[in-house]
């Protein structure tokens, strides 16, 4: 009776269990996104991760934020990434160049950040239990709170997306010789191929003839017949 009367982590509800399961799936999709060597698969797993975050918002009765998550991130950012991969002719299969030598350092930073974030959230809401029965607020209240108190992080995310686009443009440039050098080499190739016919024409005009291959340099012709 005491466990049923007072909410806690030892008596989870169906919504809380679903929230935990969706969170595990979202975390797994995010890990696959940053560890796979196939760029297209990474973009598709990113769709799963962002969609899982939208489901988490729905479970928290934040329908407006959930649909904004789907429209902006799943419907715009991921589609932009896929178009960028197609237009830059990125490799479809495994890409060894996508592997980074700083994988362990990045993993250490990610785990440390996750532990710090979980510690701060659990410590802040250790004795607080938020009931999700009644929904408070509206779209107007959410917009006012977002652009009044959280405008700086919002603009920081915009700058981050702009930096990601600029980085994608820089990485999509072909690494190699410039176009002018490649065009010059392409135009000089036919002249090299046409050199042997020109040399044979010049030798024919001067009256010299080359010895046949495999011969000893004598003039070819039938041997004279001896009369007996």
Q: What is the CATH number of the domain that holds 24?
A: 1.20.120.1200
Which of 150, 169, 188 is the last residue in one of the domains? Answer: 169
Please tell me which residue, 132 or 72, carries the higher pLDDT value: 72
Q: What are phi and psi of 52, to 5 degrees?
A: -65, -35
Q: 91 and 24, same structural domain? A: yes
- The number of residues in the chain equals 228
Rounded distance, CA 228 to CA 222, Å?
Answer: 18
Which of 95, 126, 151 is the last residue in one of the domains? Answer: 95
Structural domain of 56? 12-95
C-beta of residue 25 within 8 angstroms of C-beta of residue 52 = yes
Rounded distance, CA 228 to CA 178, Å?
Answer: 78
Which of 95, 124, 157 is the last residue in one of the domains? Answer: 95
Rounded distance, CA 14 to CA 18, Å?
Answer: 6
Q: Is residue 199 part of a domain?
A: no
Residue range 32-50, pLDDT digits in tens: 988 887 878 888 899 999 9
Q: 81 and 145, same structural domain? A: no
Q: Is residue 180 part of a domain?
A: no
Q: Is residue 26 part of a domain?
A: yes
DSSP, collapsed to helix, strand or coil, labels residue 101 as coil
pTM score? 0.53
Q: Is residue 30 part of a domain?
A: yes
In the chain, how many domains are there?
2
Q: What is the DSSP string of 180-207?
A: HHHHHHHHHHHHHHTHHHHHHHHHHHHT
Q: Which among 91, 77, 3, 90 is positioned nearest to 46, based on CA atoms?
A: 77
Q: Is residue 54 part of a domain?
A: yes
Other residues' Cβ atoms within 10 Å of the Cβ of residue 52: 20
Other residues' Cβ atoms within 10 Å of the Cβ of residue 44: 16
Residue range 129-183, pLDDT digits in tens: 666 555 566 677 777 877 888 888 888 888 888 888 788 777 766 555 455 544 4
- Helical packing angle, 39-59 and 14-35, nearest 10°: 160
Q: What percent of the chain has pLDDT over 70?
A: 58
pLDDT band at 24 (very low <50, low <70, confident <90, very high): very high
Structure tokens given for 140? 């107007």
Q: Is residue 165 part of a domain?
A: yes
Number of H helices, E strands in the chain: 10, 0
Task: Give residue 53's pLDDT.
Answer: 94
E strand or H helix that includes residue 162: helix 151-172
Q: 30 and 86, same structural domain? A: yes
Highest mean pLDDT of the ranges 67-71, 89-93, 141-145, 176-180: 67-71
Q: Is residue 106 part of a domain?
A: no
Task: Give residue 71's pLDDT.
Answer: 87
Q: Is residue 89 part of a domain?
A: yes
Structure tokens given for 151? 């405008």
Q: 83 and 16, same structural domain? A: yes
């Amino acid at each position: 009776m005491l466990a049923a009367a007072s909410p806690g982590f030892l008596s989870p509800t169906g919504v809380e269990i679903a929230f935990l399961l969706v969170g595990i799936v979202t975390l797994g999709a995010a890990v696959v996104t940053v560890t796979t060597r196939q760029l297209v698969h990474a973009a598709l797993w990113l769709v799963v991760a962002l969609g899982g975050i939208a489901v988490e918002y729905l479970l928290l009765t934040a329908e407006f934020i959930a649909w904004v998550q789907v429209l902006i991130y799943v419907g715009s950012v991921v589609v932009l990434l896929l178009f960028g991969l197609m237009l830059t002719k990125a490799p479809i299969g495994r890409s060894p160049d996508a592997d980074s030598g700083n994988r362990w350092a990045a993993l250490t930073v990610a785990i440390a950040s996750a532990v710090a974030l979980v510690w701060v959230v659990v410590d802040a809401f250790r004795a607080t239990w938020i009931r999700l029965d009644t929904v408070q607020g509206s779209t107007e209240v959410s917009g006012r709170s977002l652009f009044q108190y959280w405008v700086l992080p919002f603009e920081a995310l915009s700058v981050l997306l702009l930096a990601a686009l600029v980085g994608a443009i820089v990485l999509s440039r072909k690494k190699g010789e410039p176009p002018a050098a490649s065009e010059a080499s392409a135009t000089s190739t036919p002249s090299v191929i046409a050199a042997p016919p020109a040399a044979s024409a010049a030798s024919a005009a001067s009256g010299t003839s080359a010895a046949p291959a495999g011969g000893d340099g004598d003039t070819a012709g039938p041997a004279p017949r001896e009369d007996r």
